[in-house]
Amino acid sequence: MKYLAPAALTGIVGVILWKILEILMAPIVAWILGVLAVGLKIGLALALTTAAFYAVRRVMRDRTDGDSGAAQ
């Protein structure tokens, strides 16, 4: 019977560590999801800004090319 004591102790310690991990994981997962959400918002804002900048440059270039063609 005394040879089973380490196995029982390991099981008890494992259960205690599992409960601690359950308590700690909820805020950690929420924090990670929050960071990912902020990163997604920043990425979408950069993509939208880049697309708008490209569209404005293209319109301005097309207007400039159209004006030079009409003068000839």
pLDDT tens per residue, range 21-56: 999 999 999 999 999 999 999 999 999 999 999 999
Number of H helices, E strands in the chain: 1, 0
Largest distance between two CA atoms of the chain: 104
Handedness of CA 35, 39, 41, 42 (dihedral sign): positive
Q: What is the pLDDT of residues 54-64, one digit of tens each?
A: 999 999 998 88
Q: According to the model, what pLDDT value does residue 69 have?
A: 54
